[in-house]
Amino acid sequence: MITLDCRGLRCPIPVIRLARAIPGVPVGEIVRVLADDPAAANDIPAWCRMKGQEFVAADGQAFDVRRLS
């Protein structure tokens, strides 16, 4: 699992960092985004839907995304 620490960063930076990291991750791998911006709870799942990636889970300030393609 790869972890991106985006705590303290505001929208849209956590999503931008996730988008930049995904191409370097093997298909099937999970990226965990640590983000304390309240907008991340909506932005990260929305990005996954738009980009065809799987939003796996959210646990507090941790958001797990699985690369599908």
Contact of 67 with 29, CB cutoff 8 Å: yes
In the numeric block, which tokens belong to residue 16? 């931008």
The SS3 of residue 58 is strand
Residue 6 known to be catalytic: no
Q: Looking at 2, 9, 11, 13, which residue is catalytic?
A: 11
- Which residue, 50, 52, 47, is CA-closest to 4? 47
Active site residues: 11
